[in-house]
Structure 1
Amino acid sequence: MLTRNGLLEAVPEDRRDALAALSHEVTYEAGARIFNEGGPANRFWVIRIGNVALDVHVPGRRSPVVQSLGPGSLLGWSWLIPPHKWHLGATAQTAVQADEYDAAQVRALCADDPVIGQAVALYVAGIVGGRLRGSRQRLLDLYGPYGSGADL
């Protein structure tokens, strides 16, 4: 069963086909490196099937996983915000099937159609905000004297 694509659902129904036309299906085997921190953020994905680990580069150490993404998740937001470099790295934890988008084409569509542009920008901003809240909670759980309080 394939998962819904929240990015497409964020765009008004009468404009979804224009955005969907810029995607194609890709697959990654478990363990495949999808992108590296600092590399060019020239595409992004919506995961249909499988799980992807986001990690951060730590010199001299194995890159720790900071978040795992599953079906329906947007993989990558750095493509939208200059300088278009990945802030994290990503590896397929399981076999992954995803819709891949060319970032330059999507940015051009957003510039040409402000309705799509606003919908995409708000969707990505919501994703970034949610991930920041999740990171804050994890940091509090690790380093806060009483944790995040999320279990209370």
Structure 2
Amino acid sequence: MPSLSVFDLLTLHDFVADLPADRLQRLATAGRPVFRGTGHRLFREDAPADRFWLVQSGTVALDFHVPGRGDIVVEHVGAGAVVGWSWARPPYLWRFGAVVADDIRAIEMDAVRVREMIAEDAELGLELTARLLDTVSERLQAARHRLVELYAYPAATP
């Protein structure tokens, strides 16, 4: 069975599937299919945000570092999710970290090229920004729920 092109993969991904074909064709030039195994760190907080991933299968754990406690997982995301939004706004540094929790197949997008496309096509920029805002909102809600899980109940006293 022949492998699918990046364009074909984009047409199947929830984040961008409903974009017009001409925009998907342009976005396809900035992407490549990747496989990343369990345990592979996609990025760490404060590192340069120069790419993002459209997950096709598998699971990614989103985390942040807490001094004295290590990396705390905020959320797990899977097929249909976009991993990474910090690439879209200066200073282009990751706000969270991400590690593969279960082998993933994804479309890895070159964020610098996508930013260039957005600069040339304001309508594309508005559309991607709206979608990223939805993603950010979902992630903030997940972080809130995780904090409630961690701190809603008083710690057991000896």
> What is the rounded CA distance, in whole Å, between the counterparts of 1:98 and 1:91 in structure 2?
13
The one of 125, 135, 138 equivalent to 2:133 is 125
Q: Using a 3 Å threshold, how does the CA distance of structure 1 residues 131 and 28 change in structure 2: closer, same or farther? A: same
Aligned-partner SS, 2:46: coil
Most deviating of 89-98 and 9-18: 9-18
Report the Cα offset of residue 61 of structure 1: 2.7
The residue aligned with 1:148 is none
Runs of 5+ unmatched residues, structure 2: 1-8, 154-158
Deviating runs (4+, > 4 A) in structure 1?
none
Report the Cα offset of residue 133 of structure 1: 2.0
Report the Cα offset of residue 33 of structure 1: 1.1
The one of 71, 75, 97 equivalent to 2:79 is 71
Percent of matched pairs sharing the same residue: 39
Greater fraction strand? 2
Aligned-partner SS, 2:90: coil
Q: Does 1:82 align with 2:59?
A: no
Query: Any idea what the Cα deviations from partners look like across 1:3-46, whole Å, max 9, x if unmatched?
Result: 93123225334422111221101111111111111100000000
What's the Cα RMSD here?
1.9
Q: Which amino acid aligns with 1:73?
A: A
> What is the rounded CA distance, in whole Å, between the counterparts of 1:88 and 1:117 in structure 2?
23
Q: Does 1:98 align with 2:98?
A: no
Paired residues, number? 144
Q: Please, what TM-score do these two structures have when normalized by structure 1?
A: 0.86
Q: Which amino acid aligns with 1:37?
A: E
Asked if structure 2 preserves the Cα contact closer than 8 Å seen for 1:12 and 1:116, the reply is no
Q: Please, what TM-score do these two structures have when normalized by structure 2?
A: 0.83
1:1-152 aligned within 5 A:
4-144=12-152
> What is the rounded CA distance, in whole Å, between the counterparts of 1:36 and 1:141 in structure 2?
23
Runs of 5+ unmatched residues, structure 1: 146-152
